[in-house]
Amino acid sequence: MYVKIPQVGTVVTGDDVEIGANTCIDRGALNNTTIGNGTKIDDLVMIGHNCKVGNNVVLSGRVGMAGSTTIGDNCQAGGGAGFAGHLSVPAGTIIGGGAGVPGTIDAPGYYAGYMPALPHKEFFNILSVIKRLPEMRRSLKRVEAKLDSLNKTE
């Protein structure tokens, strides 16, 4: 059974904020949803309840932020990027267009990537392999080097 939670917070926008057409900013559930000074929000952006968007952030069209996402100052998110919610993104981070952010990002940087929806188990199997690719590559290079040295001794 679903339980309705009254949305008693508000939306607080800073100075020099621009909000594009058909953008939706949900009021906070218990606290406020906040948009920092100088932030530019394109058309068709969705900002969920209790989100905190820092100063001078740029959100391109169709960015979606689920509730309680915190975006640091001077961040950028390309068109169609999505944030899973209840996560933080550090100041100065760039999220590439179409990228999905499933959890908190610990270090600022440029994050990108796109994967179509797959069955849950298949996606996590692929993800576990992707995470191990750098070590698998190093291991393969070691094996190739040993093979090369064996071939030279023949």
86 is catalytic: no
117 has pLDDT over 80: no
- Classify strands 100-101 and 40-41 as parallel, antiparallel or unpaired: unpaired
pLDDT band at 2 (very low <50, low <70, confident <90, very high): very high
Residue of 39, 42, 49, 95 with catalytic role: 49
85, 99, 94: which is closest to 57 by C-alpha?
94
Q: What is the pTM of this model?
A: 0.79
Q: Helix, strand, coil shares of the chain as percentages rounded to 5?
A: 20, 20, 55
7-46 pLDDT, tens digit each: 899 999 999 999 999 999 999 998 999 999 999 999 999 9
Give the number of residues written for the chain: 154
